[in-house]
Amino acid sequence: MTKAYRSNLTWEQWELIADLLPEAKPGGRPRKLTLFAVVNAILYVLCEGCTWRGLPGDFPAWSTVYGYFWRWSLDGTWLKIHDQLYQWVRVDAGREPSPSEAAVDSQSVETATMISIDVGYDAGKKIHGRKRHLSVDLLGLVLRVLVTSASLPEREGAKKVLQRVHDTGHQVKRLNTIWMDGGYRGEEFMRWVMDMFRWIVEIVLRPLEKKGFVHLPKRWVVERTFGWLNWCRRLSKDYERLPQTSETFIYIAMIRIMVRRLA
């Protein structure tokens, strides 16, 4: 590396995740580049919103960087790093590793012109693109995310993302309450969550007489998390051909936030 970019990890932050990355495969040629440079290149793409081919020349070759990004997406490395940092951040904040409450909401975002897979129209927000269904704890840390077509109803998306949260097992063993806004109202949906996961859904309604931003108790934390994600230019719009790639970039954005809290 010949230049320090604002997206780069410090050495202290790098040490937190270095041991969580996969070892080089046995056999073949020895690994010549450093994973520190690879991770910083991926963070550059996330923060600056450039294409893979647009990586500055002092990073490793774009095809190599993308190869690591894609392989670590497929083998669950990014999710493993995210979940480990998640527990460390909660303990560092004086909380139990497993949350007792969570908040769920969705955000519809436009897709780039060339994107055609899982793209739809959100009639409520009048946006043609995709919808991010986010589940967070009350610190605003992401539990699980699901990216779908924007046309998918909020309750259907919530069912899928809550199933992902439940599948994390011991990570949410204390979870008992889910905070949501008025878009998730409905006795059938609330009963489904109770029957499937034994969680209670609490609906927080927005005061009709107020306009603009309103601080909604406990449910507002998910809105703050959406704000954090928007600081990454790659996430200001959905540029990814596959929804799974969008999900991976959201987890990487949270990894960056969490390592900065820890070091």
Residues pairing with 103 in the sheet = 136, 179
**Crossing angle (nearest 10°) for helices 243-262 and 35-48:** 110
Report the distance separating Cα 236 and Cα 231, nearest Å: 8
Each residue's pLDDT, cut to its tens digit, for the chain (263 residues) gives 467 899 999 999 999 999 999 988 777 777 788 999 999 999 999 999 999 999 999 999 999 999 999 999 999 999 999 999 999 999 999 999 999 999 999 999 999 988 999 999 999 899 999 999 999 999 999 999 999 999 999 999 999 999 999 999 999 999 999 999 888 999 999 999 999 999 999 998 876 666 666 666 788 899 999 999 999 999 999 999 999 999 999 999 999 999 999 99
For the record, the structure tokens of 123 come out as 């009639």
Q: Which of 12, 11, 67 is nearest to 38 (CA)?
A: 67
Angle among Cα 136, 164, 152 to the nearest 5 degrees reads 85
DSSP SS3 for 206 = coil
